[in-house]
Amino acid sequence: MENQANSKGIIINYGLYYSGVSILLSLVLYAMGKHLDDSFGIMALGFIIMTSFIVLGIKKFKSDNGGFVSWGQSVKIGVGIIVIGAILVIIYQQIFMTFIEPDFLAQMAEKTEQTLIDSGFTDEEIQMQMEMQKKFQTPLISIPLTIVVSAFIGFVISAIAGAVLKKDEEEQY
């Protein structure tokens, strides 16, 4: 493949698009007062958005590359898009929690505590859970964890999409 398409531009562009849509969704949820909601519908929408931008990025690379894309290229493109997007979303989240809604973590803790109480947990179990949640909410842990989890989910989606969309030059002959 002498004239192979450049994946870097696609990764950056689709990573920017993915983060922009994710941030827009977050702002809409905040405006609707649903920023603390962790319902299945919202998580499913986030998964659909992530999957869409991975598939669109892989398809764009494939069309720019003369109709060819390998599984490895698909994974690289998909994970790259998600990591770029995750980093930008993390920056937005830090701005959100610092300036837009400084009480966000306290609100999340309150909601979690009420959910645990409603589920019948003991005071000791609730206390342990709340301490654990507080540890995972520190930027030193939450930022790298968010990037790693996002990259893993991006890898799984990209691996599946790459297996479906792959078309190597060797297959043509």
Nearest CA-CA partner of 1 in 73, 57, 66, 63 = 66
Q: Is the pLDDT of residue 172 over 90?
A: no
Interatomic CA distance for residues 65 and 74, integer angstroms: 12
pLDDT tens string 80-137? 999 999 999 999 999 999 999 999 999 999 999 999 999 999 999 999 999 999 998 8
pLDDT for 28 beyond 70: yes
CB 64 within 8 A of CB 9: no
What's the pLDDT at 39?
Answer: 85
CA angle 123, 129, 133 (to 5 degrees): 140
Q: pLDDT at residue 156 above 80? A: yes
pLDDT at 38: 82
pLDDT attached to residue 1: 44
CB contact burial 113-133 (16+ within 10 A = b; e otherwise): beebeeeeeeeeebeeeeeee
- Give CA–CA dist 50/83, Å, rounded: 11
Q: How confident is the model at residue 61 (pLDDT cuts 50, 70, 90)?
A: very high
Average pLDDT over residues 140-163: 97
Q: Is the pLDDT of residue 20 over 50?
A: yes
Collapsing DSSP states into helix, strand and coil, what is residue 102?
A: coil
Question: pLDDT category, 3, cuts 50, 70, 90?
Answer: low
Provide CB contacts within 8 A for 70, sequence distance 6+. Answer: 162, 166, 168
Taking the C-alpha atoms of residue 158 and residue 145, their distance in angstroms, rounded to an integer, is 19
Residue 2 has pLDDT above 60, yes or no: no
Note the pLDDT tens digit of each residue in 71-80: 999 999 999 9
3-class state of residue 65 by DSSP: coil
Q: How far apart are CA 97 and CA 35, in angstroms?
A: 12
**Per-residue confidence band for 5, with pLDDT thresholds at 50, 70 and 90:** confident
Indicate the pTM of the whole model: 0.91
Question: What is the residue-averaged pLDDT of the chain?
Answer: 93
